[in-house]
Chains A and B, each alone.
Chain A
Amino acid sequence: MSIDSPSQQTSVDGYDADSTGHWGRFGGRFVPEALVAALDELTAAFEQARTDPDFIATLAHLQRTYTGRPSPVTDAARLAEHAGGARILLKREDLNHTGSHKINNVLGQALLTQRMGKTRVIAETGAGQHGVATATACALLGLECTVYMGAEDTRRQALNVARMELLGAEVVAVETGSQTLKDAINDAMRDWVTTVDRTHYILGTVTGPHPFPTMVRDFQRVIGDEARQQVLDLTGALPDAVVACVGGGSNAMGIFTAFLGDVGVRLYGFEAGGDGVETGRHAARMAGGSPGVLHGTRTYVMQDEMGQTVASHSISAGLDYPGVGPQHAWLHETGRATYAPVTDAEAMAAFELVCRTEGIIPAIESAHAVAGALQVGRDLGPDAVVLVNLSGRGDKDVATAASWFGISAGEGGA
């Protein structure tokens, strides 16, 4: 991986989208007219809910008593030996109920679903983490739940399919296109446009048409709000760098948001470099994509000359997506955050290191962030404090990791 030293930090006038969901030329709402009414309804419901003391209290109660928030920050001293001695602090979203940060967004949107008087929820999922979190929230709140998952991913992540079904969700294997996350989103949109009067679409990341990028970020920003205070309490100062992996970008926006105004804090997002950006088999949208429109928003997209979406590749199903949240596109363009690819091999080396030095089996997505953080630590030097979002745990990835490292993992496999 290579990290450009962050360009002189540009001051950004306000980090929020405008009232129609645009960050500069990115974001917006590129959808069939049929969905506009539902997006307007959702925008209004969210605007109301975010300042309603009842809603805030209900969500906070669930976060505390159900998710297990606040998630701790772990001082990863043995891991830090591999980061040139920089101090590495892990924000432990892996300890949340259901095993990742995805639950933060899902609980917020599931409560909104109830508020809007809708009884059915649909969701897309790649690795299955967002699908499991959605199935969980629907079981808890008594909502009907259908999850769209690429047929290819249902095979790669069979364990999570079983979890969703145990939780009472219907899992639809999507056989169209590349049979992965992007096609699952297409099918979820097709369902939504047909059933929108009683169905809410719980999109799992900070992309899609307005208000999703803003709303999902706001439900995830609890990660950074907690972590900023935790780091201050622990070290007496802000961290020098904040690091996250970027699939659609929700865990990254979740931890970045609290620090956007702290111009001295460097922000790094690590994308899936797959086999290497030069091979074309990757999911590095900033390094290997270009501005375009996908799934309702204008952002960096992996596309060909004609504007056809190009298939992405990553060992990590959760980062294997050809688009990225529009606010990331904006942070990239303004230079406020720095994005770089991490290859499959680099991520798996970091995965092994976290297992062996900290006794934590991370999600392979999160291992991309750790790989990036080790490099950032080495670049910034031994006095640096690097905060890393450990977005999820690796139980779902045991079969993939076992086959990568040549360990026998019993039945199942990647």
Chain B
Amino acid sequence: MSSLPELFERTRAEGRAALIGYLPAGFPTVDGAIDAMVAMVEGGVDAIEVGLPYSDPLLDGPTIQAAVDRALQTGATTSDVLDTVRAVAQTGVPTLVMSYWNPIERFGVDRFAHALAEAGGSGVITADITPEEAGDWLTASEREGLARVFLVAPSSTNDRIALTTAAASGFVYAAAVMGVTGARDQVAPAARELVERTRAQTSLPICVGLGVSSGGQAAEIAQFADGVIVGSAFVRALLDAESTEAGIEGVRALAAELRVGVGAPGGT
């Protein structure tokens, strides 16, 4: 299995950006989600974010909300999320969890970190905590060797970017726009400016997410960022499909298109 540092070393050597794909665990079913994530890897995604379904996802737009609601209705649990990580990590790509804070706190921060590491997970992207509130998580992630991926946003001051990147590991998640998740037609100019300001503070890889949905957008971002993160567009492919099988093929095709966008060379 490749680690996050190895991944970025390789994509840098290949002169391209890494492609990171998100889907929530448990949607449309636990197994269906695993199959879709494996198809993403087969299509060319370099790292997977497994979403932990949460009842109050206030950083998510309607597409991801709809998928997460359905995952919760079918009874997806935190243990299912860990099982999903275990299955996806076996493909060999770095596999992270994307979560809101309360389910992790409820599971127990130390217990979650230990279980995630044991399942072969690489780290956690935390949507609604900043380093100031992350004391327990900083300790637990350090102990378990997990990446702590925090977000920076166009509204972040340079001081905050310094504080956030100093606490982060693995990579930094740069939110391309002010807003929630959801496909958008264009790459906002704010994204490039934010990456430049973040670059000035850290040597960690910087990946851009929120709103990216097409190969063209991925290509544009790949010119200035180390990675491109795509979520809602993959979810949409599953939501709109007539069957899970068709959805999985849609996901695979989108992964391939995006992979061309980030600069195709190299296998997984």
For the complex formed, measure the closest distance between the CB of B108 and the CB atoms of chain A, giving whole angstroms.
10
Whether B102 and A33, one on each chain, are in contact in the complex, defined by CB atoms closer than 8 angstroms, is no
Whether B153 and A32, one on each chain, are in contact in the complex, defined by CB atoms closer than 8 angstroms, is yes
> Which B residues contact A (CB, under 8 angstroms)?
54-59, 61-62, 65, 69, 72, 77-78, 101-107, 127-130, 132-133, 150-157, 160, 164, 175, 178-180
User: A175-209: contact bitstring with B at CB < 8 Å (1 yes, 0 no)?
Assistant: 01100001101100110011111000000000000
Q: A29-B133, A34-B153, A308-B54 are in contact. Are A193 and B106 (CB under 8 A)?
A: no
Q: How far is the CA of A393 from the CA of B179 in the complex (A)?
A: 38
Q: Quick one: which of B56, B65, B101, B132 has the most chain A CB within 10 A?
A: B56
Q: How far is the CA of A161 from the CA of B72 in the complex (A)?
A: 31
Q: Which 8 residue pairs spanning A and B have beta carbons closest together?
A: A307-B106, A34-B153, A307-B103, A194-B179, A37-B155, A308-B55, A307-B102, A189-B58
Whether B105 and A294, one on each chain, are in contact in the complex, defined by CB atoms closer than 8 angstroms, is no
Whether B61 and A293, one on each chain, are in contact in the complex, defined by CB atoms closer than 8 angstroms, is no
Q: How far is the CA of A33 from the CA of B213 in the complex (A)?
A: 22
Whether B56 and A193, one on each chain, are in contact in the complex, defined by CB atoms closer than 8 angstroms, is no
Residues of A within 8 A of B127 (CB): 32
Number of residues in A with C-beta < 8 Å to the partner?
Answer: 37
Whether A37 and B160, one on each chain, are in contact in the complex, defined by CB atoms closer than 8 angstroms, is yes
Residue in A31, A34, A292 whose CB lies within 8 Å of B105: A292
Residue in B56, B104, B156, B157 whose CB lies within 8 Å of A295: B56
Residues of A within 8 A of B128 (CB): 30-32, 293, 296
Cβ contacts A to B, 26 pairs, < 8 Å: A20-B132, A29-B132, A30-B129, A32-B58, A32-B59, A32-B127, A32-B151, A32-B175, A33-B156, A33-B164, A36-B155, A37-B157, A176-B69, A185-B58, A190-B58, A190-B179, A190-B180, A194-B178, A196-B155, A197-B155, A197-B178, A306-B107, A307-B103, A307-B106, A308-B54, A308-B55
User: A14-41: contact bitstring with B at CB < 8 Å (1 yes, 0 no)?
Assistant: 0000001000000011111111111000
Q: Does A230 belong to the interface (CB within 8 Å)?
A: no
For the complex formed, measure the closest distance between the CB of A327 and the CB atoms of chain B, giving whole angstroms.
17
For the complex formed, measure the closest distance between the CB of A120 and the CB atoms of chain B, giving whole angstroms.
14
B106 to chain A: closest residue by CB? A307
Whether B178 and A31, one on each chain, are in contact in the complex, defined by CB atoms closer than 8 angstroms, is no
Interface secondary structure of A, over-half rule: mixed
Residue in A32, A35, A177, A185 whose CB lies within 8 Å of B55: A177
For the complex formed, measure the closest distance between the CB of A80 and the CB atoms of chain B, giving whole angstroms.
43
A37 to chain B: closest residue by CB? B155
Residues of B within 8 A of A197 (CB): 155, 178
Residues of B within 8 A of A193 (CB): 58-59, 178-180
Q: Does A400 belong to the interface (CB within 8 Å)?
A: no
Residues of B within 8 A of A301 (CB): 102
Whether B151 and A309, one on each chain, are in contact in the complex, defined by CB atoms closer than 8 angstroms, is no
For the complex formed, measure the closest distance between the CB of A394 and the CB atoms of chain B, giving whole angstroms.
31
Q: How far is the CA of A139 from the CA of B126 in the complex (A)?
A: 39
Whether B155 and A38, one on each chain, are in contact in the complex, defined by CB atoms closer than 8 angstroms, is yes
User: A388-404: contact bitstring with B at CB < 8 Å (1 yes, 0 no)?
Assistant: 00000000000000000
Q: Does A303 belong to the interface (CB within 8 Å)?
A: yes
B164 to chain A: closest residue by CB? A33
For the complex formed, measure the closest distance between the CB of B116 and the CB atoms of chain A, giving whole angstroms.
15
Whether B61 and A190, one on each chain, are in contact in the complex, defined by CB atoms closer than 8 angstroms, is yes
List 13 extra interface pairs beyond A30-B128, A33-B130, A34-B179, CB under 8 A. Answer: A29-B132, A36-B156, A37-B157, A38-B155, A182-B56, A183-B56, A190-B179, A292-B105, A294-B56, A306-B103, A307-B102, A308-B55, A309-B56
